[in-house]
Chains A and B, each alone.
Chain A
Amino acid sequence: MQEVIMAKYGEIALKGLNKNTFEDLLVRNIKRRLVKCGEFHITRNQSTIYISPENDDADIEKAIEWVRKVFGVAAVQRAAVLPKDFDEIVKQGVPYLEEALSTAKTFKVDAKRSDKRFTLKTPDIQRELGAAILEAYPHLTVDVHEPDVTVLCEIRDSNAYLNAERIIGVGGIPVGSSGTALILLSGGIDSPVAAYMMAKRGIGVDAIHFQSPPYTSERALMKVEELCGELVPYCGDIRFYIVPFTEIQEALRDHCPEEYFTVIMRRLMIKITNRICAAHDYKAIITGESVGQVASQTIMALGCTDKAAEYPVFRPVIGMDKKEITEIARKIGTFETSIQPYEDCCTVFTPKHPRTKPVLSEVEAAEARFDFAPLIEKAIAGIEIKDFKL
């Protein structure tokens, strides 16, 4: 029996004139991931992308796993492709449902009839198909409120589709539809979540990381690289900029007042990020900051950091608790990597009593005690680039 993966759009189904552009992008994003899963044929119709295996080698399970992580996909269904003839739907379709129904106790049938020429009306389909299923699987009972399995029968223009498994997709809009931005990736729990959340809004995300050997270890860098790899299924290709930051941090320690270390360090990171944005046409900066989490993330400190930025700074987790951020990190699979205990550059030379309410003029004065410009040039010249690809 012919099977198909149906990927249903979420938000982009509501788009107006540029809906096509979004759809094209979504199809392209899906196609790139399917390359790993074998040969598939892709068509789209009625706000659904139909992904049909070309041969037996095409791995449907794997394809579903990849497709559900594509932003823009609200739900994924694996369905039987059936002729638009109710007797055939019962004859071929009911046995197809065996795997899903054999372990269930209750079920219901939903039907959608977008082809209004089909002889049976929606309630008729539900009733008749339900009766046929009950007859074939007598251990089941109908529960229309909280069924173990919902069987969905869709009568569309070309075919009828029958399935019993609906997987929730990640939603959002296709990556690439909203330009590109740079995420400051430290290795903690928050920044990968921030990257995920902005990619969900269609932004192509590349990453920048500041490393300070020997204060930070090779393992700290390996961990961030691992995080890049874990974000790729969601974000697509990630270009990873590694900035040598040791000399800047040492100069900061030697020349600036300790209580301003963190805020000045954040400003210097932003200044370097500005330069990379300008050189490579990124339109925004993303950080994993959340208000009140640490001293550099007070409202005043964030204000001081923002003044160094020449691009919009997106902070998608700004209003979230650690618990909420952690939940997302677990869901997308970055949590276990993030909690490996390696020091990152943010905690090197942490002041004992950082200023939680820094005043911009004082911060600027403290920062001006040393001419960081040559070191910034040197750091930028020393950037190493790694590409993480789908």
Chain B
Amino acid sequence: MIYLDNSATTMPFDSVIEAVAANMRKNSGNASSLHKVGIEAEKVVKAAKQTILAALKAEGDIFFTSGATESSNTVLFGVPKTYRHNGKRMVTTSFEHPSVENPLRELEKAGYEVVRVKPPRRGESRDFEQQIIDAVDENTLLVSVMWVNNETGFVTDTAKIYKAVKRRNPKTIIHVDAVQGFCKLPVKSLAADFISLSAHKIHGPKGVGALYRAPGARFEPLLYGGGQQAGLRSGTEPVDIIAGFAEAVRSYPDCGEKYETLNDRLINRLSELDDVIINSYGNAKNILNFSVRGVRSEIMLHFLEEREIYVSSGSACSRGKTSGVLAQFGVSDKDADCAIRASFSPFTADSDIDSLVQGISDGIKRFRR
């Protein structure tokens, strides 16, 4: 199997499977219990928080959630409740993941003004980050920006936005959906008051995510209950998969150069084929989106699947639907209909890229008319 759909989800590291199993066997207490079993579980949770903070090279708090969707919802609904006198304006991008875009639509219905900044087109010299910064006024409550776009890999310098926005309006809270970049990109371009993270995108277990909070930032909880995690995220901590999450963070190797090589190789090999265009630019090198003109992506996907090569058409979350996000990056509807996303992992080899390109080449011969 050649799995090149690591932006949809990843296969857990062996060390993660072992960490989860070992924790379930030996240390699956309730972190809120007063007795020793509970204390041991609490230690696991605390250590996991430190692991994630260290990977972010940040100080602050970590809250464990059910996943990045919950993390982002917590921020988008919980921050306006706390800072309701800071204004009604929110600034974001036009290419957010649905777990950010759809909560924002709900907030729009509730009377908030949402400004969506479009990305620069390929080759355009426009300073995208500056446009986001310029959109912030004294009435801006929240800025929510995706670090790495899940469909094209487009990277936004959130550190630049963070610094400038805080100068412009110190009251504005900045949230970053860092799901696709975490452990894959150097954190120097990542800074925020709140950061959403997910374990299953970095070879950890599904069903657990994290919310980073910078010192001093506040929010009202989304869930009310037993008051776990400082009363801000009630519900017994899933200590086993939290242990797995931390193990994934520890195990994820530095793949910067590797992804660069794979990305270049794929672009080069695809350039040998007629009418294949690259949709990604300014991208994290672990994600490459391209269109095989004349072959609908779903057909190509199933054709490659017969060879046990797995890629994505658009975003797997919105299976079957044409991506509106690609249009934001200047991809025509016709090309979006033929778009394929390959996303790499630490296991991806050069030969996998070659097999993919061979598959696409054969697919073109069979399907292109």
Partners in one complex: yes
Chain A residues with CB under 8 Å of B303's CB are: 214
Contact, CB under 8 Å: B302 / A217: yes
Which B residues are within 8 Å of any A CB, using their own CB?
A: 298-299, 301-303, 305-306, 319-321, 369
Contact, CB under 8 Å: A214 / B306: yes
Contact, CB under 8 Å: B302 / A214: yes
Contact, CB under 8 Å: B302 / A213: yes
Query: Can you list 15 pairs linking A and B with CB atoms under 8 Å apart?
Result: A213-B306, A214-B299, A214-B301, A214-B302, A214-B303, A214-B305, A214-B306, A215-B299, A215-B302, A216-B302, A217-B302, A218-B302, A341-B319, A341-B321, A342-B320
B84 to chain A minimum Cβ distance, whole angstroms, is 39
Q: Chain B binding site: helix, strand, loop or mixed by DSSP? A: helix
Contact, CB under 8 Å: B298 / A343: yes
CA distance A20 to B369 in the complex (A): 62
Chain B residues with CB under 8 Å of A216's CB are: 302
Given contacts A214-B299, A216-B302, A342-B320, 11 further A-B contacts (CB under 8 A): A213-B306, A214-B301, A214-B302, A214-B303, A214-B305, A215-B299, A217-B298, A217-B302, A218-B302, A341-B319, A341-B321
The 10 closest A-B pairs by CB, nearest first: A214-B302, A214-B303, A341-B320, A215-B299, A217-B302, A214-B299, A214-B306, A213-B302, A343-B298, A214-B305
Contact, CB under 8 Å: A253 / B369: yes
Chain A residues with CB under 8 Å of B298's CB are: 217, 343
Q: Chain A binding site: helix, strand, loop or mixed by DSSP? A: loop
A213 to chain B minimum Cβ distance, whole angstroms, is 6
Residue in A closest to B300 when the chains form the complex, CB atoms = A214
Chain A residues with CB under 8 Å of B319's CB are: 341
A187 to chain B minimum Cβ distance, whole angstroms, is 13
CA distance A216 to B299 in the complex (A): 7
Residue in B closest to A341 when the chains form the complex, CB atoms = B320
Chain A residues with CB under 8 Å of B321's CB are: 341
| Highest count of chain A CB atoms <10 Å: which of B302, B305, B306, B319 | B302
Chain B residues with CB under 8 Å of A215's CB are: 299, 302
Chain A residues with CB under 8 Å of B301's CB are: 214
CA distance A286 to B334 in the complex (A): 37
Residue in A closest to B320 when the chains form the complex, CB atoms = A341
CA distance A34 to B343 in the complex (A): 52
B227 to chain A minimum Cβ distance, whole angstroms, is 38
CA distance A300 to B214 in the complex (A): 69
CA distance A217 to B301 in the complex (A): 9
A218 to chain B minimum Cβ distance, whole angstroms, is 8
A351 to chain B minimum Cβ distance, whole angstroms, is 13
Chain B residues with CB under 8 Å of A218's CB are: 302
CA distance A341 to B299 in the complex (A): 15
CA distance A342 to B320 in the complex (A): 7
B73 to chain A minimum Cβ distance, whole angstroms, is 25
CA distance A216 to B296 in the complex (A): 12
CA distance A343 to B321 in the complex (A): 11
CA distance A350 to B298 in the complex (A): 15
- Give residues 196-217 of A contacting B (CB, 8 Å): 213-217
